Chains A and B, each alone.
Chain A
Amino acid sequence: MMRKLIVFLLVVALVLTAFSVFGKTKLIMAVHWSDYQVEGVKDENGNLVKKGLRQYVEEYMAFHPNVEIEIQSVPFDEYLKRILISHTSGEIADIYVLYSLWSVQLVESGILDSPPKDVVDKVKNDFVKPAVDGTTIYGNIWGVPIEVDNYALIYNKKLLKEAGFENPPKTWDELVEMAPKLTKRNEDETISQYGFAFLSGWDSAVVHPYLALLYSNNGKFLKDDFSECLLDSKEAIEALEAELELFKNGGTDPAASVWSFPAGKVAMMIMAPWYETSLKLGFKDEYEETVGVAPIPYMKKPATVGYTWFISVDNASKNKEVAWDFIRWMTLVDSNGFTRMGELMAKNIGAIPPKKSDIAYFTDELNDLYTSVFVKELEHTHQEPNVAQGQEIKTILMREIVEAWNGRKTAQEALKDAKKQIDEILAEFY
């Protein structure tokens, strides 16, 4: 009797476990975030201080016991490579966090799933314009934007004051005039303190600030239908010449590095929101009295440039509906006045959440001396164009700009060469 009961119970247990295994829907989510953005930030005693993605996912799984979500995080530099390689072998993630520029190729190759209509409508209505533009490819929306970045002028208040400047430059001409006066040289003519330093080292670093000037000069990068590159226009050449002015008048040189800013060796630079923590670490107690943020000095009208990350679902996923449901829960559903993704962005990752209600809610995080300027500048932000081969095109432009910085080409020559190569690529696709 006892034996029978045990056997019976065992069978029941087996069947139940079997059901709970087979009944579970498994989702794989690929992100480019680091350990504490995924696992959360903990204090000395191991208590959770800031939630990471994992905590939200667990919360979701607690509500939906039949769903299991696995997070696969890959460092940013290797992220796209890893997606491509596993994708070719049919190993896909269900949910991707994607950089807007990559997604053009993904859309063209039919990799992404079209979002449900309610998701599209919410994105159109509830998110800031640069983010909506970033998520739009060939006129359609392909996911929910989760992070929007743009650029502003960061300056060292103390160094400016030392040189007799009370305010940061408003126009580019003012900046060009101020930079040499903020530059100090050693006896051997090398620069010990830079009036201005350009970001450099990777494509966006060089290209984004240039595009900001281009837009500010009423110029355009590409025709709207992407049939032609417009870098040979008068506006484009003037914008690059405006950068070169700083090299000519000694306000900067090609060896300048924005990473010396926290050491007080750079007076002005153009930077993105994610540099805040480094500045706080670099200046410690003197952070508030030293760091100033202002819109990028303009040429003809105020303008800056931005880029977007968004979250989307693989077309080949077997559980698209569940995946979109998780995305809705994470990025669209209001939980006490904010979205969970908005909280993760504002509190843990330190980026600007693109949903209007989140921007309004997280005033403590977004209204400080650093981020508030970036948030205000969202209205002047032009999303970099979502063009096929965007990365390749950007690299070409970067290389030509660097040639000009180094005096190997004039602005006109560099941009003419860039246009020629970019037009060849556009011709392949448009």
Chain B
Amino acid sequence: MRIKSPNKRTLAGYIFLLPAVLFYSLFFGFPVIFSFIVSTRRWNMLVPLSRARVVGFSHYEYLLNNELFMRALFNTLTYSLITVSVSLTIALIFAVLINGAKFSVLWRFIYFAPVVTPQVAIGTIWGYLYRPNNGLLNSFLKLFGIKPVYWLTDPDVALFSIMLTAIWSGIGGSMLILTAGLRNIPQDYYDAAKIDGAGPFKQFWYITVPLLKPTLLFLTATGMIGAWQVFDLPFIMGRNAPAKSVMTVSWYVYETAFQSLRMGRASAGAFLLFCVIFSVTLLVLWTFRRGGIEGYE
């Protein structure tokens, strides 16, 4: 049922978007166009850009044929799929468990602790936990007679150790958002379900999960977007592992730009990364839409 003329609501739609549009044209549009131009130049950031040699799309070609860049893409793919799915599942379980529990403010606060702790500190702390000879995790494994693991130096393990830390540090943020989502589910639904004799697991599966879908979509999409750009933790924790096993795309872009002084190639890497993330995000939106949330994209 339309109450007002569509024209007015159309206009309102644009007006509400105005601040964002102004902002993005300046702080997003300009930098992206600038970087795109840079990606077709050979520029070391020291000479004026106008003097940089034009190289067309050769940076893109180089990257797509570069072993390390492709490994970085593969590592980041593994990282994003596993961290997002695992950390979201755990966050959902804990959000539901804590919601309505005694001392819920305290629990939520504790689970949120890693989110307020700077990533550098988290990297340092887990570095301690992961030490091969006297780290906490290995002494724990020892109790079960398991051989010590070289968490951060073994090329086959290092990326998974970093993912474990990332999953751990990502739970709190997702939990907070899921809790806000849980707050929006009317209590009546649960009351009605109880009368029908549904147990806690049925309530979770038939009420909580479907009604949280918009929130889950948000967390999956932004989680993916964030995970694809992961930089801090691998950069801090992966220094002693062979680069091929832990290098991520953002790390590659960073290193190419500010250590190798190849801003052109780095920008090309950023645009390739953008293409990948954009396709992945559309895929996520499409999957959710097929999963029955019409109107939520």
Residues of A within 8 A of B (CB): 80-81, 84-85, 87-88, 105-106, 109-111, 186, 188-192, 200-202, 254-255, 257, 265, 389, 391-392, 395, 399, 402-403, 406, 408
Indicate if the CB atoms of B239 and A202 lie closer than 8 Å. yes
Contact in complex: B45, A88 (CB < 8 Å):
yes
Chain A's nearest CB lies how many Å from the CB of B245?
Answer: 9
Smallest CB separation, B56 vs chain A (Å): 16
Which positions in B face A, CB cutoff 8 Å? 44-47, 49, 132-133, 142, 147-148, 150, 153, 155, 239-240, 242-244, 255, 258-262
B260 touches A395 (CB 8 A): yes
Measured CA separation A3–B76 after assembly (Å): 77
Least CB separation from A193: chain B residue:
B133
Q: Is the CB of B148 within 8 A of A188?
A: yes
Q: Which residue of A lies closest to B49 (CB)?
A: A88
Docked-complex contact A186 and B133, CB < 8 angstroms:
yes
B147 cross-chain contacts in A, Cβ below 8 A: 188-189
Task: Given contacts A399-B244, A403-B244, A406-B153, list 8 more A-B pairs with CB under 8 A.
Answer: A80-B259, A85-B45, A105-B46, A105-B261, A188-B148, A392-B259, A392-B260, A395-B260
A87-B155 contact, Cβ under 8 Å, with A201-B239, A391-B260: no
What are the residues of chain A within 8 A of B148 when measuring CB–CB? 188, 190
Cβ-defined partner of A111 (8 Å) among B46, B150, B240: B46
Residue of B nearest to A265 (CB): B133
Query: Which residue in chain B gives the minimum CB-CB distance to A109?
Result: B46
A395–B259 Cα gap in the complex (Å)?
A: 9
Q: A200-B240, A254-B150 are in contact. Are A109 and B260 (CB under 8 A)?
A: no
CA distance A405 to B217 in the complex (A): 44
Q: Is the CB of A399 within 8 A of B243?
A: yes
Q: A186-B133, A192-B133, A392-B259 are in contact. Are A255 and B153 (CB under 8 A)?
A: yes
| Contact partners of B153 in chain A: CB under 8 A | 254-255, 406
Which chain B residues border A109 with CB–CB below 8 Å?
44, 46-47
Q: In the bound complex, what is the Cα–Cα distance between A109 and B46 (angstroms)?
A: 6
Would you call B259 and A391 a contact (CB within 8 A)?
yes
Q: Are B258 and A406 in contact (CB under 8 A)?
A: no
The residue from A80, A81, A87, A255 contacting B150, defined by CB atoms under 8 A apart: A255
A389 to B261, CA, bound (A): 8
Whole-angstrom distance between the Cβ of A429 and the nearest chain B Cβ:
11
B155 in contact with A408 (CB, 8 Å): yes
Q: Which residues of A contact B244 (CB under 8 A)?
A: 399, 403
Task: Report chain A residues within 8 Å CB of B258.
Answer: 80-81, 84
Using Cβ atoms and an 8 Å threshold, which residues of chain A touch B262? 392
Which residue from A85, A191, A201, A389 sits with its C-beta under 8 Å from B133? A191
Interface contact A84-B261, CB-CB below 8 Å:
yes
- The listed residue with most A CB atoms (<10 A of its CB), out of B132, B133, B153, B243, is B133
- Chain A: minimal CB distance from B172 (Å): 27
The residue among B148, B242, B244 with the most chain A CB atoms within 10 A of its own CB is: B242
On chain A, the residues within 8 Å of B242 by CB distance are 399, 402-403, 406, 408
**Is A110 touching B47 in the complex (CB atoms < 8 A)?**
yes
- Cα A81 to Cα B49 in complex, Å, equals 17
A111 and B48 CA atoms in complex are apart in Å by 11
A118 to B243, CA, bound (A): 46
> Given A389-B260, A391-B260, A406–B155 Cβ distance below 8 Å?
yes
A201 CB contacts on chain B under 8 angstroms: 239-240
A223 vs chain B, min Cβ distance (A): 21
Q: Is the beta-carbon distance between B255 and A395 smaller than 8 angstroms?
A: yes
Q: Which residues of B contact A110 (CB under 8 A)?
A: 47
- Nearest CB on B from A182, distance (A): 16
Which residue on A lies nearest to B256, using beta carbons?
A: A392
The complex places the Cα of A422 from the Cα of B207 at a distance, in Å, of: 60
B263 to chain A, nearest CB (A): 9
A-B contact pairs, 24 of them (CB 8 A): A87-B46, A105-B44, A109-B46, A111-B46, A186-B133, A190-B148, A191-B133, A200-B239, A202-B239, A254-B150, A254-B240, A255-B153, A265-B133, A391-B260, A392-B259, A392-B261, A395-B255, A399-B243, A399-B244, A402-B242, A403-B244, A406-B153, A406-B242, A408-B242
Question: Which chain B residue has the least Cβ–Cβ distance from A111?
Answer: B46
B240–A84 touching, CB < 8 Å: no
Please give, as numbers and ranges, the residues of chain A lying within 8 Å of B132 by CB-CB distance.
Answer: 190, 255
Q: How far is the CB of B174 from chain A (nearest CB, A)?
A: 30
Note all chain A residues with C-beta closer than 8 A to B44: 105, 109
Looking at the assembled complex, report how far the CB atom of B225 sits from the nearest CB atom of chain A, in whole angstroms: 24
Q: List A contacts of B260 (CB < 8 A).
A: 389, 391-392, 395
CA A36 to CA B46, docked complex, whole Å: 31
Q: In the docked arrangement, what's the CA distance between A201 and B235, Å?
A: 10
A245 to B44, CA, bound (A): 40
**Cβ–Cβ contact A402 & B243, under 8 A:** yes
Chain B residue at minimal CB-CB distance from A405: B242
- Provide the residues of chain B in CB contact with A105, threshold 8 Å: 44, 46, 261
Partner of B46, one of A81, A106, A254, A391: A106
Q: Evaluate whether A84 and B46 lie within 8 angstroms (CB atoms) in the complex, with A190-B148, A254-B153 already known.
A: yes
Which residues of chain A are within 8 angstroms of B47 by Cβ–Cβ distance? 109-110
A85 to B153, CA, bound (A): 33
| Smallest beta-carbon distance B215→chain A, Å | 37
Instruction: Give B42's nearest chain A residue, CB to CB.
Output: A428
A174 to chain B, nearest CB (A): 26
